[in-house]
Structure 1
């Protein structure tokens, strides 16, 4: 909402020295968002006057039409003689009054005017357009003034060029500030000055002589006022002062009746509509649209109507989308002058509509048709229902004054009874909300300043004003008191959380995992939790896989990804592909986040009302309708895992790095993983590891790791040999109970034993390691596989696995006999469970 300071002063007696920036600071302190303060006329100096065009000579022989004009500027030229001015505009004629910048003037943008020779003639000034004076963006032609202004009149004062305009971003809860009346009320309150309310008019009571109106949906239109004005002069022009106020407010002028309705809307905040009475067919009506109905709106677009659209109708059918835009059939006609007789033709009799519509109905209609108009913006934020009759009266008064019309005696007033809203408020409630003692007197005074009626002593009964539909509960009233008392007066206090509260075990694990992976060289990449069935198909995930059962969003951000993810891999792999395409080829990314795993057995979610807080049972029903949402962690790798340096060549990332990332995560959870071969999309069938651990006493699959399938790599355009890992963090948390064992340093020496075992090539190394660990007993401190050999020294179909076993006792130095016995027991267990044979035995 753009509010000229000169217009604002009409309702509030601001100090003469108050600037736009000072007023903006006051409004900002009161809670409004003033984005800019624009100073119009900045950089404009020198003689800018009204001129009368005496004669026009058409110059030929140039690429464009050029006119040599003789213009009377009164005594402003210094000599009293008319000025000769070159001009290329065609929208004026001899006898018209125009705006002239004389030599010595400086226009906005440091454009200096001087007498100069051009097109073979001397031009002694410039005839100005609105764009050249920065009054508007209109470039179609120069400014043509009404005939009553004398040549030589100061055009700077006449056009109110020098002004300051406040551009206010009106939030949805302050719809009343989409009017000068609302902004003036806030300004008067901020300065402690009285307000001259423009809505305080003498309005005649409704009678039976008014234009007939039928309201078929009182819930969507609870008030409708109709007034008529006849005898309008079709050639009556909008006065300059009204044109300038409309332009400063960001609106263009159209015709006198339309300009007046826009002016009253800006002044009082109530959108109005003017109908050409000659084009109306019978009484006006308000109803919902019927199936198959269509309407051509003022913008020339034919619109198919929805059954929930609220319409203004006559006997011919729909003539307007209520609160959004009128129809082309009944619009006020633009005035036209007969070129032969000079008579004006146009609308001479209008019907003024001033109604009050339901905010939700208008907002849905505007969004349904993609139409955000000045009217709909106000209706959807709330319009004062009590101002409709005053707005109609103001519009009638201006049409009579400026258009020469006669107000009809009839006044139509249709209204539905409505109970006033009352709020019960403990007098100390704002004190408790703000943590500041205001006192009852201050609370009552501030609420009365915003227009509320207040009664009571310790417990106040408050009736909000009609222009504040956002005041519905005690906290709304407390906010009004706090903002009027000043947000700057609120003390700065830190919140005090109750003792014993901190991060949950799940949150601590989440943070530890992130730090551990970042320390291992991975970069966190956060992705949107959306996916498509096509992305899952390109991962090689077949129909029937639980990961293909997704939840589809009712209102997705993108039609290309309309569903919630069941795995973290699509987003991470897309990030890897994007970064690889931008030149980063050595990549290691990770993400932790929720996935959504519906079973199809969830009960449907109930649609709850928004009039109050849902009950515990209703909340429990909503929770039951939610799918399972486990927290998972995933990594993806491509390119070199170790870079080339003086220590040697680069090492490409491989499936073992993905498995090691899983072990890193498991260590942070205090869990131990069991690694085994598996076949699981999207991984390579020969380079895929299943990750198991013991959860609640049972061996449980918690994830997979390895190299991606070549078909998946090709389908997703990924680098060759891309690897990935995905684990379920919630299961790992249960497996490790959230406990991490701190490293222990012993004072006794370690005894190291190496064993090389030959087993069948199909036997997993993890199975052999498990057997060694179980046979070695409590003295085994750690076990590490350090070599895998297949070659001439072992039989075909077999492999040699070399392990380093570290033994240590917590209370003594181990003897050679104890170490040897533990080693032999470990080898014996491996031989029994896996058929392992000591190499060289």
Structure 2
């Protein structure tokens, strides 16, 4: 909320500087987000009146003006503004004045000068030249009642400061200048100027029939008819200035009055053109199929969850949010109906967001507006209407007040001992009572060390004991609270040597060339069905968007969305990863402080590689990333864990280019190319390679164990075996390892694969190098050795024969000729 300091001080003026005032409000929970002067610094600018304006003898667009600035003699000033004319009062910068800095950052000094041969002893200023606005279409015309020679800063109250407050939702009672002044009075003890609501003289007995058909929407509805108003009357400059300094532009006198009272007292209201209302008004919920053209020009479709004010023919207003165009006041309006109502907050909350706009009225009503002062506020609006738009024939009718469902405040108790414990300082019942009394809450004793408070009608936020404790803390002052160190046993938690941190995983992936992304945990339902094979995802009760309706059980969809975003912006090489939580149904999961019953929430790490295997470089042949590139990244991420990669299937991955990652007999993740079906659906030029691993497994690592370097040289033997095309490398390695002692076999490495040439149509299958079609040759290098002795030829030969026999029995291999 934004407002000028001078308006606040008109209600409560404590002996504090601007900075001290801002600090006092901030430390009481009314955060002052910004302090900004109304106008930039300038001096020597006074109110001047143009007494004569004649055409410049040598310039068509210049006039030579005689200006009275209260110095006795008139000043000769040359001016090019189109509205420079006799009789108006304008800002005049006299010789020696200093205007706001220009583009160079230096103040602009006014000197005696010549324009086309005519001397000019000053400058007549526009609003832009004074830094008041961007308007530079002409001179800034001032109120004719201002005295000549008065400083413009004093005349326009430019030595003022704009306060911008960032209010939390529970501070609805501070959404007005008077509401903030009421808080300021409680904080400082300075007297509060209460607004007077004198009853206006009733000149006729006309009433508009009103029916409240929805008491759960509207608890109180007040209104009155005012006849023969002058809507062509100008809005007073003081009101225009105050509205502008609250961030509200002037529209018309009646609209300005309604807005002014809203900022002044926090009461949104609406003024109808009485002649455009058909019959009476009915306050009700909208019906299916109804629509309304609003004041902002939008036409909205209504349903039964939105409150409206309707007449006998159509809907006229969106209850508590915005009026309708059909009954809006205009320059032709003569008779008006002033309305002020209490709308239940729950009946207004969230309605304007359905139509993609927000209003000051809706912002206030959905937080709570005082239901007890509708009549008084109508009197205030009527008073301003009579002062600004009144004519000799203007008359107002009686106020028609309907009270059908008023809120009943419920007493709230405060235990003094509890308040002292929560606030963290000793408090007495007397001190708590004084703090609450300053806020006008009227506490009453309700037992030993207990106070009871019945919240006033404007405090919708006081519902539980903690609310009163907060009020006491605000009045005591947060900056007065003692600094008390916590008393608790401290036990350091040291990471186990057999584990590493998630940060280490992030750092390693970054070293491998991946960039981290952070995505929402709720995703599109289609992703879960297609990429995770999850037909029953966990649905959100209140999703923030239709495409974010379920909780994710896989990180792959989020990474593909990041890839799509980048490729749509011509990125040809993408490496991204995410460490995040997924959400799975598990009836066996128990609830605790960190878990939810029936749901698992494990952490996972996933990555995606797309485009070239390496960045563009002259010394490296350009090649696209493939399965084995990312497999190497996964091995580097998991090292030194002994993991295996086994052929598998996954809903998101290519059925022939997918592997599951196995560690210690358990599947800890998957790796593979994106399925061609999903590649086409996502419109990707190349197939990205993805992996997703259980983070708990990735964080495990083996504890380093010292082992002396062997003094005996290892030996190497190469075996070339022929196996069926369906036999995997993993099966071959498993057979060799099962035949030899781990103390003897140091490593098994595949260093060559040979397949016969494919058979063309019409040719007879031939045996190539002893390998028939449907077979392949695998060349293995076995490294053998012992730490305690050198291997003999017999031991080496026996080891090789044992490996061959295991290969023959387990995978039907034969030694290649």
TM-score (norm 1): 0.78
1:273 corresponds to 2:236: no
Structure 2 residue corresponding to 1:631, chosen from 604, 608, 625: 604
The structure-2 alpha-carbon separation of the partners of 1:759 and 1:534, relative to structure 1 and needing over 3 Å to count, comes to same
Unmatched 5+ residue regions in structure 2?
102-106, 757-767
Which residue in 1 is equivalent to 2:437? 448
Distance 2:407 2:615 in 1: 76
Q: Is the 8 A contact 1:427 1:460 kept in 2?
A: yes
1:32 corresponds to 2:30: yes
Q: Is the 8 A contact 1:359 1:381 kept in 2?
A: yes
Structure 1 residue corresponding to 2:691, chosen from 725, 728, 751: 725
How do residues 544-583 of structure 1 correspond to structure 2 at under 5 angstroms? 546=533, 567-569=554-556, 571-572=558-559
Structure 2 residue corresponding to 1:322, chosen from 311, 319, 332: 319
Distance 1:583 1:355 in 2: 56
1:760 corresponds to 2:732: no
Q: Is the 8 A contact 2:455 2:462 kept in 1?
A: yes
How do residues 64-213 of structure 1 correspond to structure 2 at under 5 angstroms? 66=61, 68=63, 73=68, 76-79=70-73, 81=74, 86-90=79-83, 95-109=87-101, 110-113=107-110, 118=115, 125-138=122-135, 142-145=139-142, 147-149=144-146, 151-198=148-195, 201=197, 211-213=208-210
How do residues 393-472 of structure 1 correspond to structure 2 at under 5 angstroms? 393-404=379-390, 408=396, 410-415=398-403, 416-456=405-445, 457-472=448-463
The structure-2 alpha-carbon separation of the partners of 1:782 and 1:638, relative to structure 1 and needing over 3 Å to count, comes to farther
Which residue in 1 is equivalent to 2:246? 249
Q: What is the SS of the residue equivalent to 2:740?
A: helix
Distance 2:549 2:671 in 1: 27
1:313 corresponds to 2:279: no
The structure-2 alpha-carbon separation of the partners of 1:142 and 1:12, relative to structure 1 and needing over 3 Å to count, comes to same
Q: Kindly state the Cα deviation for residue 570 of structure 1 after the two structures are TM-superposed.
A: 5.1
The structure-2 alpha-carbon separation of the partners of 1:563 and 1:54, relative to structure 1 and needing over 3 Å to count, comes to same
Q: Is the 8 A contact 1:54 1:94 kept in 2?
A: yes
Distance 1:712 1:313 in 2: 52
Q: Is the 8 A contact 1:268 1:387 kept in 2?
A: no
Distance 1:582 1:235 in 2: 54
Aligned residues: 785
Distance 1:712 1:214 in 2: 59
Of 710-719 and 265-274, more deviation after overlay is shown by 710-719
Q: Residues 209-235 of structure 1, C-alpha deviation per residue, up to 9 Å, x if partnerless?
A: 755432222222212222344454556
Q: Is the 8 A contact 2:40 2:130 kept in 1?
A: no
Distance 2:407 2:755 in 1: 94
Which residue in 2 is equivalent to 1:591? 578
Q: Is the 8 A contact 2:591 2:597 kept in 1?
A: no
Q: Is the 8 A contact 2:579 2:603 kept in 1?
A: no
Distance 1:480 1:273 in 2: 33
Distance 2:517 2:406 in 1: 58
Q: Is the 8 A contact 1:633 1:729 kept in 2?
A: no
Q: Kindly state the Cα deviation for residue 760 of structure 1 after the two structures are TM-superposed.
A: 1.5
The structure-2 alpha-carbon separation of the partners of 1:627 and 1:776, relative to structure 1 and needing over 3 Å to count, comes to closer
Unmatched 5+ residue regions in structure 1?
335-345, 603-614
Distance 1:506 1:308 in 2: 58
Which residue in 1 is equivalent to 2:759? none
Distance 2:348 2:498 in 1: 46
Q: Is the 8 A contact 1:424 1:460 kept in 2?
A: yes
How do residues 736-755 of structure 1 correspond to structure 2 at under 5 angstroms? 740=702, 742-745=704-707, 752-755=714-717
Structure 1 residue corresponding to 2:779, chosen from 801, 807, 811: 801
TM-score (norm 2): 0.80
Q: Is the 8 A contact 1:50 1:99 kept in 2?
A: yes
Q: Kindly state the Cα deviation for residue 363 of structure 1 after the two structures are TM-superposed.
A: 3.8
Q: Is the 8 A contact 1:41 1:162 kept in 2?
A: yes
Distance 1:76 1:423 in 2: 63
Q: What is the SS of the residue equivalent to 1:320?
A: strand
Distance 2:475 2:301 in 1: 47
Q: Kindly state the Cα deviation for residue 197 of structure 1 after the two structures are TM-superposed.
A: 2.9
Which residue in 1 is equivalent to 2:812? 835
Distance 2:464 2:201 in 1: 33
Of 794-803 and 318-327, more deviation after overlay is shown by 794-803
Q: Kindly state the Cα deviation for residue 12 of structure 1 after the two structures are TM-superposed.
A: 1.5
Which residue in 2 is equivalent to 1:612? none
RMSD of equivalent CA atoms: 4.9
Q: Is the 8 A contact 2:777 2:816 kept in 1?
A: no
Structure 2 residue corresponding to 1:675, chosen from 629, 645, 656: 645
The structure-2 alpha-carbon separation of the partners of 1:204 and 1:400, relative to structure 1 and needing over 3 Å to count, comes to closer
Structure 2 residue corresponding to 1:705, chosen from 671, 689, 692: 671
Which residue in 2 is equivalent to 1:772? 736
Distance 2:723 2:226 in 1: 103
Q: What is the SS of the residue equivalent to 1:460?
A: strand
Q: Kindly state the Cα deviation for residue 499 of structure 1 after the two structures are TM-superposed.
A: 5.3
Q: What is the SS of the residue equivalent to 1:262?
A: helix
